[in-house]
């Protein structure tokens, strides 16, 4: 496995080249309802990054960085077990990361983000690291929930399955079934919001929210619709999609460079 942290320091200069792509998995440690582990976003981001580096690492010259486990999860701060960084702290951490990455032979850094609550901040960091450290920065999502720009599906979750719902639960059932307790899974869809067209997930008016504004139990979606079979299907799609995305990242060039 092409893990940067497993290299010895003098090997870095020869193992990496100007065209290497560094993959930074970005997870979260936060409540995922009563049925999924705190590590849900971390294990998904890490497993997907490992899978894609395993599959396409040699071809695309991919290098895996250790995952960021603690990130911006204050929408779940009300739940004991959530361990989160403030926006200011996380931007500082990402700036420090960028400064260090800039000393490597490559300038290509791709965030693979498993937690929707990080998306806006990582988009800001993309530009900050570009301007401050001259990096080429990219932001990929294993799957894009609707609260951070993903496409709405016409489904039983009414497009509201953004946290610990059908798909996320299915993926963990596929990857780590021993960490899931489906006897505790229950539907929690904020149906009143689904009738709105502007101020809603995917609407053109964004709004600040904490997960306990939407659902007392911390689930936003319907995990009772989840299955390991669905998870396996989604996982295959996520792997293929991440591989295709990274193939473009590997060859991306600005017109003026
Ligand atoms: Zn999650």
Whether residue 67 lies inside any domain: the answer is yes
Q: Is the pLDDT of residue 65 over 70?
A: yes
What does each C-alpha distance from 202 to 100, 180, 209 come to in angstroms? 36, 28, 14
Tens digits of residue pLDDT in 71-89: 999 999 999 999 999 999 9
SS3 240: helix
Q: How far, in Å, from the CA of 129 to the mean position of ligand 1?
A: 25
- How would residue 195 be classed by pLDDT, with cut points 50, 70 and 90? confident
Q: Which of 6-10, 128-132, 138-142, 172-176 has the lowest mean pLDDT?
A: 138-142
Whether residue 80 lies inside any domain: the answer is yes
Helical spans, DSSP H, in 143-197: 166-175, 191-194
Q: Is the pLDDT of residue 153 over 80?
A: no
Whether residue 160 lies inside any domain: the answer is yes
Tell me which residue of 32, 40, 75 sits closest to 218, measured CA to CA: 32
User: What CATH number is attached to the domain comprising 59?
Assistant: 3.40.50.10310
Q: How far, in Å, from the CA of 109 to the mean position of ligand 1?
A: 23
Q: Is the pLDDT of residue 126 over 80?
A: yes
- How would residue 257 be classed by pLDDT, with cut points 50, 70 and 90? confident
Q: How far, in Å, from the CA of 143 to the mean position of ligand 1?
A: 11
Determine what percent of the chain is predicted with pLDDT higher than 70.
Answer: 96
- How would residue 176 be classed by pLDDT, with cut points 50, 70 and 90? very high
Whether residue 257 lies inside any domain: the answer is no
Identify the pLDDT of residue 147. Answer: 54
Q: How far, in Å, from the CA of 181 to the mean position of ligand 1?
A: 16
Residue with tokens 């929707």: 116
Q: What is the torsion angle, in degrees rounded to the nearest 10, for the CA atoms of residue 34, residue 32, residue 182 and residue 143?
A: 170
Mean residue pLDDT across the chain: 94
- How would residue 174 be classed by pLDDT, with cut points 50, 70 and 90? very high
In terms of pTM, does the model score above 0.85? Answer: yes
What does each C-alpha distance from 207 to 28, 118, 202, 218 come to in angstroms? 21, 15, 11, 18
253: how many CB neighbours lie within 10 A of its CB?
7
Residue 67 burial (CB < 10 Å; 0-12/13-18/19+)?
buried
Total count of domains within the chain = 1
Mean pLDDT of 91-109: 98
Identify the pLDDT of residue 156. Answer: 85
Q: How far, in Å, from the CA of 58 to the mean position of ligand 1?
A: 30
The helix (H) or strand (E) run that includes residue 140 is strand 136-140
Residue with tokens 């999860």: 73
Whether residue 57 lies inside any domain: the answer is yes
Q: How far, in Å, from the CA of 195 to the mean position of ligand 1?
A: 24
Q: How far, in Å, from the CA of 46 to the mean position of ligand 1?
A: 13
Instruction: Say how many CA atoms lie within 13 Å of 9 toward its Cβ.
Output: 1
Contact 129, 109 (CB under 8 A): yes
Q: How far, in Å, from the CA of 43 to the mean position of ligand 1?
A: 10
Whether residue 256 lies inside any domain: the answer is no
Q: How far, in Å, from the CA of 115 to the mean position of ligand 1?
A: 6
Identify the pLDDT of residue 205. Answer: 95
Range of the domain at 200: 4-251
Whether residue 198 lies inside any domain: the answer is yes
């Amino acid at each position: 496995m092409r893990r940067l942290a497993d290299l010895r320091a003098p090997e870095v200069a020869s193992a990496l080249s100007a065209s290497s792509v560094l993959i930074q998995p970005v997870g979260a440690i936060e409540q995922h309802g009563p049925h999924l582990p705190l590590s849900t976003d971390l294990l998904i981001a890490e497993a997907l990054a490992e899978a894609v580096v395993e599959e396409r690492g040699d071809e695309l010259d991919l290098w895996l960085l250790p995952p960021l486990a603690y990130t911006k999860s204050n929408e779940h701060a009300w739940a004991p077990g959530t361990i989160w960084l403030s926006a200011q702290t996380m931007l500082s951490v990402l700036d420090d990361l960028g400064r260090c990455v800039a000393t490597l032979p490559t300038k290509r850094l791709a965030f693979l983000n498993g937690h929707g609550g990080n998306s806006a901040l990582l988009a800001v960091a993309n530009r900050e690291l570009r301007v401050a450290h001259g990096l080429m920065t990219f932001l990929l999502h294993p799957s894009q929930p609707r609260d951070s720009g993903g496409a709405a599906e016409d489904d039983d979750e009414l497009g509201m399955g953004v946290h610990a719902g059908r798909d996320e639960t299915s993926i963990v059932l596929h990857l780590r079934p021993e960490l899931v307790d489906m006897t505790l899974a229950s539907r929690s869809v904020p149906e009143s919001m689904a009738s709105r067209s502007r101020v809603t997930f995917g609407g053109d008016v964004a709004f600040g929210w904490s997960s306990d504004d939407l659902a007392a139990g911390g689930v936003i979606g319907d995990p009772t619709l989840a299955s390991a079979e669905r998870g396996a299907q989604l996982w295959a799609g996520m792997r293929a999609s991440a591989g295709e995305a990274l193939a473009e990242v590997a060859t991306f060039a600005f017109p003026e460079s």
